[in-house]
Amino acid sequence: MNITEAIEKVKPHLTVKRFEHTLRVADTAVKLAKRYDASQTKAELAAILHDYAKYRSLDEMERWIRKSTLPKDLLDYHHELWHGPVGAILIEREFGIRDKEIQSAVHYHTTGKAGMSILDKIIFLADYIEPGRSFPGINDVRKKAEQDLTHACLMASKNTITYLISKNTTVYPDSFHAYNDLTRQIIGGSSLHEK
């Protein structure tokens, strides 16, 4: 599937605001991919597809979670987390996208996970820092994204977890696993300091 086809398929499933967000995430993802020597094509495609399931009904998403191999504990957490994992299933079933890297980036774009690939990190971060976003600490993450992809992902992860805790809401385990793994990468000195 090329980018034009992906845009045409995704657009009818999103609100105008969400579609504009998607285009900004794609632009940001391409810039990050260029900066960190990743596939710009995969980054753009994953970004276009990342919110594909965002506006599916909760009933439909719950059905997909129950009948698939997705972890059933997703149902115990806020439904805002469901669209990534469900979207990863739907892009394969409805568009024939079987690229595991793209599926993973779509699946984990909200929570992150331990052992994120460079594409996972790019989509996770692009969704967080795209130019339409505005909240405390985002400019620091944007600056760090120009220097160190892993460290910027860690900052985004920490900010997200801190925000969720401040709202007295649950935090999905993958988010903690992402934070811990990113922290170990930074402490261990294995983060990307390219260019």
pLDDT of residue 174: 97
**Long-range contacts, stretch 127-130, CB < 8 angstroms, 24+ apart:** 127/25, 127/47, 127/50, 128/156, 128/160, 129/28, 129/156, 130/21, 130/24, 130/25, 130/27, 130/28
Confidence of residue 9 (pLDDT cuts 50, 70, 90): very high
The ranges assigned to domains in the chain are: 3-135
Average pLDDT of span 164-178: 96
Once rounded to an integer, what is the mean pLDDT over residues 90-118? 98
The whole-model pTM stands at 0.94
The string of pLDDT tens digits covering residues 66-88 is 999 999 999 999 999 999 999 99
With beta carbons less than 8 A apart as the criterion, state whether 84 and 50 touch: yes
**Paired tokens of 70:** 């997705």
Superfamily of domain 3-135: Hypothetical protein af1432 (1.10.3210.10)
Q: What is the C-alpha end-to-end distance of the chain, expressed in Å? A: 31
pLDDT in tens, 134-167: 998 999 999 999 999 999 999 999 999 999 999 9
How many whole angstroms separate alpha carbon 36 and alpha carbon 182?
A: 17
